[in-house]
Amino acid sequence: MQWSAPRNDGPSQAAGNTTGNTFIMSDIQYVAPRTLDEAIGAYAAAGSAARILAGGTDLLVQMRSGAVKPGLIVDIKKIGEMTAIEETKDGGFRVGAAVSGMALHDHPRFGKVWPGVLEAINLIGSKQVQGRASAGGNLCNASPAGDSVPALVAAGAVVTVAGPQGRRELKVEEVPAGPGRTNLKPGEIVVAFTLLPRPKGASDAYLRMIPRTEMDIAVVGCGVNLTMKGGVCTDARVGLGAVAPTVLLVEAAAKALIGSKLDEKALEAAARACSAACRPIDDKRGTIVYRTKVAGVLLRRATAIAAKRAQER
Ligand SMILES: Cc1cc2nc3c(=O)[nH]c(=O)nc-3n(C[C@H](O)[C@H](O)[C@H](O)COP(=O)(O)OP(=O)(O)OC[C@H]3O[C@@H](n4cnc5c(N)ncnc54)[C@H](O)[C@@H]3O)c2cc1C
């Protein structure tokens, strides 16, 4: 494959004034805009032929296998807003959709405040993959087994999306529509995740079941986010992955935990609620029965870790 660069025609003109590089690679064009407006312009103008490139750890694999053949690639890694991690004065976070797992890991505060979200993102692939892969890509790839998604759902993260019609906000769980499909409108790009400030005594955890020790796809993934006060759970959110066509927010499990001291009765009810929410597929990686059972087991274990962390905050 040969790259010829730079050229001034093609999608960069469609965007109006794309200042990033434009490359032509056989029948694929590549632009790397410096601003979100330019990215939206190029992406929207090219229609369904275009693909956003964040880390490329899903996209390039799909292109290589021939599953995806984009006419235009819009690289968002050079856009400041999408690669920034910002801690607000009140202790909330705004994480750009294209921030890599490694950049998030290296942030001095993020992992202290959101250890469960960080451990979920840092489970993605290897060190090499971590250097590129983003939570935005994990979400928009829309695999039900994406590791960061249950943790972000449990965290109550809000997704800012921008497109030709302007900006809007969605809950994380509203973004996936089914395996490989999202509810984003044509030309829309995920810009950032917002995580609210946490009260004292709040923490989170993410666990996944994989048949190997690493570099595998979750058979079940479970994110738990808790607030504890005087030994009592005052708030909870539970996200479950790889057990349904999209990642699930399991409100019944959270309800079982809230108001309890996370005693056996509450944990059993929450575990049952997780198992009841499962609508998994049966495949070589895990049967329906197995995934359904493991969902409850992971709920118990992730809850224990989140509760211990919450005590320490
Ligand atoms: C070796 C290897 C191991 C892996 N292990 C794991 C694992 O353990 N767990 C796991 O969950 N995943 C795993 N993955 C999959 C992949 O790394 C993750 O899904 C990753 O988070 C994708 O992020 P990315 O930035 O590379 O996305 P990209 O590949 O750049 O994009 C993925 C998709 O989302 C779209 N997209 C990206 N960003 C945006 C945006 N901001 N707005 C709109 N659309 C967007 C792209 O067009 C593309 O369709 C692995 C991949 C590899 C190659």
DSSP 61-85: HHHHHTS---SEEEE-TT-GGGS-E
CA distances from 225 to 73, 110, 125, 257, 310 (A): 36, 15, 23, 11, 9
Closest residue CA from atom 37 of ligand 1 = 137
Question: Could you tell me if the CB of 51 is within 6 A of ligand 1?
Answer: yes
CA distance linking residue 240 with residue 251, whole number of Å: 11
pTM higher than 0.85: yes
Q: Which residue's alpha carbon is at the smallest distance from atom 19 of ligand 1?
A: 138
Task: Print pLDDT tens along the chain (313 aa).
Answer: 222 333 333 333 333 334 456 665 668 999 999 999 999 999 999 988 899 999 999 999 999 999 999 999 999 999 999 999 999 999 999 999 999 999 999 999 999 999 999 999 999 999 999 999 999 999 999 999 999 999 999 999 999 999 999 999 999 999 999 999 999 999 999 999 999 999 999 999 999 999 887 788 899 999 999 999 999 999 999 999 999 999 999 999 999 999 999 999 999 999 999 999 999 999 888 999 999 999 999 999 999 999 999 998 8
With a 6 Å cutoff on the Cβ, whether 140 touches ligand 1 is yes
The finding on whether 29 has its CB within 6 A of some atom of ligand 1 is: no
Pocket test for ligand 1, best of 28, 57, 191, 247 (most atoms within 8 A of CB): 57
The preferred substitution site among 51, 129, 181 for testing ligand 1, maximizing ligand atoms within 8 Å of CB, is 129
pLDDT of residue 11: 38
Sign of CA dihedral 102, 106, 110, 113: positive
Domain residue ranges of the chain, discontinuous segments joined by +: 3-75, 80-195, 202-312
pLDDT of residue 24: 59
Mention the CATH class of domain 202-312: alpha beta
Q: What is the pLDDT of residue 18?
A: 45
The enclosing H or E element of 311 equals: helix 288-312
* CATH value of 80-195 in 3.30.465.10, 3.40.1280.10, 3.30.2320.50, 3.40.50.300: 3.30.465.10
Closest CA to 299 of 260, 254, 245: 254
Q: Determine if ligand 1 sits within 6 Å of the CB of residue 137.
A: yes
Single out the residue of 258, 219, 260, 253 nearest to residue 238, CA to CA.
253
| Range 3-75 classified under CATH 3.30.43.10 | yes
Which atom of ligand 1 is the closest one to the Cα of 147? 11
| Three-state DSSP class for residue 57 | coil
Query: Is residue 17 helix, strand or coil?
Result: coil
Q: What are the E-state strand segments in 107-231?
A: 158-163, 166-171, 176-178, 181-182, 189-195, 202-209, 220-229
Nearest CA to ligand 1 atom 41: 190
